[in-house]
A and B are shown apart, each in its own frame.
Chain A
Amino acid sequence: MAPIVIDEEWCKGCYLCIHYCKKDVFGKSKKRNARGYPLPQVLAPEACTSCRNCEFICPELAITVEKERAR
């Protein structure tokens, strides 16, 4: 499990993170950001394996998968 941070200011709601997460960590959120884009949310952080697919694919560089200390 690794903490995932979504930068809601820059997210444009393309949901590529939801599409590319193999463990279904993300889900759609009902929230919208200041520019009106629908946002994703982290639903199952415990399923995350830190593969960082979401971080690499995110076109807005809005996702950070923080490094685990003990590994």
Chain B
Amino acid sequence: MNPIGEKYLRKDSLPFLWCPGCGNGTILAATVRAIDQMKIIDQVALVSGIGCSSWIPVYVKADVLHALHGRTMAFATGLKMSHPNRKVIIFTGDGDCLGIGGNHFIHAARRNIDLTVLMVNNQIYGMTGGQVAPTTPLAAKTKTSFFGNPEDPFDACELAKAAGATYVARWTAAHPVPLSKAIVEAVSHEGFSFIEVIAQCPTQAGRLMYGISDPGALLDFLKAKTVPVKQVQDKNAEERKGKITVGTLFHDTERTEFSKRYFRMVERSKEDV
């Protein structure tokens, strides 16, 4: 275990439950590095739902709330409103965030409440055996779509932006250093921050959808599809097709954050009485 792991992980609950070569461990390390850099380990509250990626905070020696399936945003909103000084970081998967908890997600983004959401997108329901998820690409073969997925996938970043999130970024598990930087940026940003992390799932997505079960090759395959946002900023949708834009996609510091506005209203109502 490297020094950062020694310092921040619950060693009694190791080993991690993930399959060999899973991207969640890399994301855990990137998050812990960001927390270490900001020195906020006693200020954070980590919230997670159900799924492979929702096991990330369980291993961190910090305050952790393991919530119901899809209800991470609801739990985190309550936590943030009762403890406004906490830095709440949410770990959720693509199914947990967009499938089961889709409505909670868009409403948390609409309120622009100061939460940091790390959505790990492995493009499949991995823990339950490889079913079609809201982010599974069109025509991809999974256990529940033998002839190819007939549905179009969600673009989670566009959805977050449209719903009102004020910080939106996307990275992959092959970019651990920029991801760490993005987490620092997102936690320090006041407002709803959303980071989509595309991770490799060699056991389900790799094997079923792409026919690649080697984690390194799969990660290379995913990384090859990415293109930095600066390169495609002024290109139209046609040229962007089939590419995954990575980088900070949207950052708005103008909009007021929800808990600030709310507590200001509370103060004002006290003065009126």
Q: Contact residues of A with B, CB < 8 Å?
A: 7, 10, 12-16, 18-20, 35, 37, 55-64
Q: How far is the CA of A10 from the CA of B2 in the complex (A)?
A: 11
Q: How many Å lie between the Cα of A12 and that of B215 in the bound state?
A: 12
Q: How large is the interface on B (under 10, 10 to 19, 20 to 34, 35 or more residues)?
A: 20 to 34
- Find the residue from A18, A20, A63 having the highest chain B CB count within 10 A: A20
Q: Give me 9 A-to-B residue pairs in the complex whose CB atoms sit less than 8 angstroms apart, sorted by A's number.
A: A13-B20, A15-B214, A15-B216, A16-B219, A19-B216, A20-B216, A56-B29, A61-B2, A61-B25
* Bound: A13/B110 CA distance, A: 43
Chain A minimum-CB-distance residue to B59: A61
**A63 vs B26: C-alpha distance when bound (angstroms):** 12
Give the dominant DSSP class at B's interface. helix
Interface 9-mer from B3-11, B101-109, B161-169: B3-11
Q: Render B210-225 as a binary contact track against A, CB cut-off 8 A, 1 for contact.
A: 0000111101100000
Point out the residues of chain B lying under 8 angstroms from A19, CB to CB.
215-217, 219-220
B266 interface residue per 8 A CB criterion? no
**Closest 3 pairs between A and B when the two form their complex, measured CB to CB:** A59-B25, A19-B216, A14-B21
Return the contact of A59 from the options B3, B21, B217, B220 (Cβ within 8 A). Answer: B21
Tell me which residues across on chain A come within 8 A of B217, comparing CB atoms: 19
Number of residue pairs A-B, CB distance < 8 angstroms: 72
A10 pairs with B1, CB closer than 8 A: yes
| In contact, A12 and B1 (Cβ under 8 angstroms) | no
Q: Determine if A56 and B15 form an interchain contact, defined as CB atoms under 8 angstroms apart.
A: no
- Of B3, B28, B219, the contact of A64 (CB 8 Å cutoff): B3
| Contact present for B215 and A16 (CB under 8 Å) | yes
Contact B176 A61 (CB under 8 A): no
- Since A12-B15, A14-B215, A61-B28 are in contact, a sample of 20 more A-B pairs with Cβ atoms closer than 8 Å, ordered by chain A residue number, is A7-B1, A10-B1, A10-B14, A13-B20, A14-B202, A15-B216, A16-B21, A16-B215, A19-B216, A19-B217, A20-B216, A56-B26, A56-B29, A56-B30, A59-B18, A59-B21, A59-B22, A59-B23, A60-B25, A64-B2
B16 within 8 A of A: yes
Contact pattern, B 72-111, Cβ under 8 Å of A = 1, otherwise 0: 0000000000000000000000000000000000000000
A10 to B16 alpha-carbon distance, docked (Å): 9
A35 touches B15 (CB 8 A): yes
Closest to B217 in A: A19
Assess whether B177 is interfacial by the CB under 8 Å rule: yes
Chain B residues with CB below 8 A from A13, complex form: 20
Specify the chain B residue showing the minimal Cβ separation from A63.
Answer: B2
